[in-house]
Amino acid sequence: MFDKHSHPRDVRRAIRAGQFAQPTNGIAADYVQCNVLILPSRHADDFATFCERNAQCCPVLARSLPGDPHLPTLGEDLDIRTDLGSYRVFRNGENTGDVADIESLWRDDFVTFAFGCSFSFEEALVRAGVNMRFLERGDTAALYVSDIDAHSADPFYGKVAVSMRPLTPADAIKAIQVTAQYPDVHGEPIHIGLPELIGIAHLENSIEKIGRTRVMPDELPVFWACGVTPQLAVQNAKLEISISHTPAYMLVTDVPLTNLKRSEIPQ
């Protein structure tokens, strides 16, 4: 139905009309996709502080006004109550399941945070000529919880989640340079090559069952900070309610990917 050439507005309209509820990777590839977290406004400032302190995990691209379901800087017609293909609802920190929309759950104190997501930098890597062999093998990025502590901001705390992509050494070197140019979608990797140093003893134990990601003998595992980190922190905070996107069902925005590219080297 949709592909990399689709316009994000058309994708959102179809999702809103209930005509499209699938993972969004590879769709509208010229545009930024976002992780989403929605929580009551009385927690919003603390959560914003958590995000600031862990900017590589949670690069905030937009924050809504309380009760306002719109994020106009990400899409003029965007309505966060209907524009994700699937939502995950947490109560007291527990995952209570996925729902297709949140119109009936919406509250006038809900604040939405949208974060840069690694689907965007995967597109940048492909364009830079990085050979994403794991995608060709039918694998996807694997997700893990590392033993690195995120910087806490009471009541939000937890470990840093990471995504892993296996790359040849030459492609890993290129990928580090490319993703460093996109600080708003997690930036450069936080680890390479020795997963046991960040508390990952077994690469097969990915936290999301979205396909095994094998590391071939001529590849190194490369780890980026991951947008699952704020989800873990929100669960740890045991808020009475919070809502995220369902993994892989991202918010498709109208922001061109090129807008996020840093053009100058920081001194």
Q: Contacting its own copies (CB under 8 A), which of 87, 191, 213, 242?
A: 191
User: Closest CB to its own copies among 35 and 181?
Assistant: 181
Q: Which of these ranges, 117-125, 153-161, 170-178, 234-242, lies near its own copies under the rule CB under 8 A?
A: 170-178
Q: Tell whether residue 159 is a contact of its own copies (CB under 8 A).
A: no
| In contact, 242 and 155? CB cutoff 8 Å | no
> Among residues 39, 142, 161, 220, which is the contact residue for its own copies, using CB under 8 A?
220
Rounded (5°) CA angle 125-127-133? 55
173 is an interface residue for its own copies by CB under 8 A: yes
Count of residues near its own copies by CB under 8 A: 22
Select from 65-73, 139-147, 248-256, 259-267 the region that touches its own copies (CB under 8 A): 259-267
Helix/strand/coil for 15: helix
Contact indicator for 193, 176 with CB cutoff of 8 Å: no
24 binds its own copies (CB under 8 A): no
Nearer to its own copies, 71 or 164 (CB): 164
Q: What three-state secondary structure class fits 121?
A: helix
The torsion region of residue 199 among left (phi > 0), alpha (psi -120 to 50) and beta comes to: left
Position 216 contacts its own copies (CB under 8 A): no
State yes or no: residue 248 binds its own copies (CB under 8 A): no
Under 8 Å between Cβ of 144 and 205: yes
Q: Which of 52, 170, 205, 240 binds its own copies (CB under 8 A)?
A: 170
Task: Establish if 259 lies at the interface with its own copies (CB under 8 A).
Answer: no
Helix, strand, or coil here: 60? Answer: strand
| Neighbour-count burial of 20, counting CB atoms closer than 10 A to its CB (0-12 exposed, 13-18 middle, 19+ buried) | middle
By the rule CB under 8 A, 190 interacts with its own copies: yes
Q: For the CB of residue 192, give the shortest distance to its own copies in the complex, in Å.
A: 5
Stretch that binds its own copies, among 52-60, 110-118, 150-158, 188-196 (CB under 8 A): 188-196
How long is the chain? 267
For residue 265, the minimal CB distance to its own copies (Å) is 6
SS3 170: helix
- Residue 264 near its own copies by CB under 8 A: yes
Beta carbon nearer to its own copies, 89 or 192: 192
Render 25-54 in DSSP notation, one character per residue: TTSSTTEEEEEEEEEEGGGHHHHHHHHHHT
Residue 227 is given by DSSP the state T
CB atoms within 10 A of CB 55: 17
Which residues contact its own copies (rule: CB under 8 A)?
A: 169-170, 172-173, 176-177, 180-181, 188-194, 197, 218, 220, 262-265
